[in-house]
């Protein structure tokens, strides 16, 4: 090999290695976003078909799919009213879709791809917040990078995640839960000089994204674990401040969807069909 070429190769490899060691989380983030965008994005945008048999089922005609999904309040009790509101994340996706040079048939693939983006960002930021809470931050190495890369791969590419694609990843729960957990973890166990910022961010995050029973349940389970550990470690003042700061901020910032959900009187949109139930029962017995 040419000496100058070999020297250039080793210098480049050392620079890449140094960058990865210095930025393990952002490197893993970039890699997974690239994989998802190139592989999943190209597969979806070049494919055909539509989601069926779930809450967000779409018909064959997708010409106005984006407008049908992002409406404000539905006269619809069969599908929870909260899941059909014009919540901030859905509006952001709708606006971004309108700006990008995408056609009608690209809307649902774009929505799936964006769900992956949200999930990857939320999970890796959650991991980073937890890492920043550790007292010993000297072990920035390729091992840390590989750990983040592998953990994110398991989180993103598992069958459960795939099963929830059409539910917009449980309406962004896969983004909200790890990020909220990371913010709470750093608040209780980190040495942040401005802990109130973590509380405000967590409250705003939950008020904006926690608009479905799914997310409330999952966030509740995740935060309960953090609170129990904090209670065992006798962080009583922090627990009280967390409860009386995060919850009020989440409620106040979420009033734009909470009040209509509580005050709106939807009418049932589904009628039980004995014929269908009898057919299902017969098929089950067969």
pLDDT tens track for 67-118: 555 443 444 443 444 444 556 777 777 788 888 887 777 777 787 888 888 8
Confidence tier at 15 by pLDDT (50, 70, 90): confident
Q: Give residue-wise pLDDT tens across range 22-48.
A: 888 999 999 999 998 888 777 766 665
Instruction: Give dist(CA 81, CA 190) in Å, integer.
Output: 38
**Residue 286 in this model has a pLDDT that exceeds 50:** no
- Is the torsion defined by CA of 258, 262, 267, 273 positive or negative? positive
pLDDT band at 208 (very low <50, low <70, confident <90, very high): confident
User: What tokens appear for 208 in the block?
Assistant: 């904006």
This prediction has a pTM of 0.78
- Burial class of residue 84 (count of CB atoms within 10 Å of its CB; 0-12, 13-18, 19+): buried
> What element of type H or E holds 117?
helix 107-132
Q: What is the pLDDT of residue 73?
A: 40
Position 271 confidence tier, pLDDT thresholds 50, 70, 90 = very low
User: Cβ-count burial of 24 within 10 angstroms (0-12 exposed, 13-18 middle, 19+ buried)?
Assistant: buried
Compare 59 and 184 and report the one with higher pLDDT: 184
Q: Rounded to a whole number, what is the distance in angstroms from the first to the last CA of the chain? A: 70
pLDDT digits (tens, 9 = 90+) for 173-198: 888 999 999 999 999 998 888 899 99
Helix (H, G, I), strand (E, B) or coil at 26: helix
Residue 3: what pLDDT? 63
Instruction: Report the b/e string of 169-198 with b at 16+ CB within 10 A.
Output: bbbbbbbbbbbbbbbbbbbbbbeeeebeeb
Which has the closest alpha carbon to 178: 143, 242, 221, 211?
A: 221
CB 196 within 8 A of CB 151: no
pLDDT at 242: 95
Tokens of 162: 């795939």
């Amino acid at each position: 090999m040419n000496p100058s070429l070999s020297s250039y190769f080793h210098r480049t490899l050392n620079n890449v290695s140094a960058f990865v060691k210095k930025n393990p989380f952002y490197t893993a983030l970039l890699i997974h976003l690239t994989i998802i965008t190139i592989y999943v994005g190209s597969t979806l945008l070049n494919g055909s078909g539509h989601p069926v048999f779930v809450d967000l089922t779409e018909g064959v005609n997708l010409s106005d799919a984006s407008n049908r999904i992002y409406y404000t309040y539905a006269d619809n009790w069969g599908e929870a009213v909260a899941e059909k509101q014009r919540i901030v994340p859905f509006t952001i996706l709708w606006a971004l879709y309108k700006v990008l040079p995408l056609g009608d048939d690209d809307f649902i693939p774009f929505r799936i791809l964006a769900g992956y983006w949200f999930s990857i960002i939320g999970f890796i930021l959650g991991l980073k917040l937890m890492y920043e809470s550790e007292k010993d931050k000297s072990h920035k190495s390729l091992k840390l990078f590989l750990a983040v890369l592998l953990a994110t791969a398991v989180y993103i590419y598992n069958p459960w995640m795939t099963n929830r694609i059409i539910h917009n990843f449980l309406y962004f729960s896969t983004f909200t839960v790890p990020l909220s957990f990371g913010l709470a973890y750093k608040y209780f166990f980190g040495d942040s000089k401005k802990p109130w910022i973590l509380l405000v961010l967590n409250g705003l995050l939950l008020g904006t994204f926690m608009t479905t029973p799914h997310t409330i349940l999952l966030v509740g389970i995740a935060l309960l674990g953090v609170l129990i550990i904090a209670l065992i470690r006798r962080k009583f003042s922090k627990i009280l401040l967390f409860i009386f700061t995060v919850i009020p901020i989440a409620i106040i910032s979420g009033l734009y969807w909470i009040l209509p959900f509580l005050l709106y009187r939807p009418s049932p949109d589904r009628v039980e069909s004995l014929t269908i139930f009898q057919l299902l029962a017969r098929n089950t017995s067969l």
